[in-house]
Chain A
Amino acid sequence: EVQLVESGGGLVQPGGSLRLSCAASGFTFSNYWMHWVRQAPGKGLVWVSHISSDGTTTNYADSVKGRFTISRDNAKNTLYLQMNSLRAEDTGVYYCARVAMHGGNSLGYWGQGTLVTVSS
């Protein structure tokens, strides 16, 4: 069974940093592109970033480019999101997601999410 478990969220002051982790199990992690998607309280889904299966290709939403860095450790089956220079508008639940088996970059598996709150 595919499992994705996020951790690392919490309360941080504006300008601060956090590193989110997503522990993957139940599949061959190194074979799949992975994504981060966020959701502000009571709002819709926003795609944040993705990374190729080997970690060599990354892309970001304009709103986080230059502040967030996605990475992965295939030996540890773990996805990361390093978030720097955090702003109030970065507040929300951050989900990691794995692409679907046959659906291109559609997101077939999601974690339960980790809450990031940026506030003074």
Chain B
Amino acid sequence: DIVMTQSPDSLAVSLGERATINCKSSQSVLYSSNNKNYLAWYQQKPGQPPKLLIYWASTRESGVPDRFSGGGSGTDFTLTISSLQAEDVAVYYCQQYYNTPYSFGQGTKLEIK
């Protein structure tokens, strides 16, 4: 099974500043035949279901603000919020959908400093 590990577990960033969350997979999630990374990022606010932000590691879901961006390939990935807004306070999860079981990272709690 693929293990997903996020860092840090929690993060406090000032409004308007950059926030970066890391995600590492225990094996590559890059499918060589189509050169796609099977990696997604989700945002979950208290009392709400998760919301898809990024898929294929770097493709923003429709309606997601462009301050959110995803990067990386193979086993190492990042989610970056370029200028933190108050509404971005949430827990963020990465997930691989390369192989079942489609494992999630443990989550990163993002707060305002």
Contact = CB atoms under 8 A, between A and B. Distances in A.
Interface of A: 35, 37, 44-47, 50, 59-62, 95, 100, 102-108, 110-113
A106 B101 CA distance: 13
B49 A106 contact: no
Interface in B39-63: 40, 42, 44, 49-52, 55-56, 59, 61
A45 B104 contact: yes
13 contacts: A44-B106, A44-B107, A45-B50, A45-B95, A47-B101, A50-B100, A61-B101, A62-B1, A62-B101, A103-B55, A103-B61, A105-B38, A106-B52
A62 B99 CA distance: 13
Interface of B: 1, 36, 38, 40, 42, 44, 49-52, 55-56, 59, 61, 91, 93, 95, 97, 100-107
A102 B61 CA distance: 9
Contacts of A104: 36, 38, 55-56, 97
A105 B93 contact: no
Contacts of B56: 103-104, 106
Nearest to A93: B49
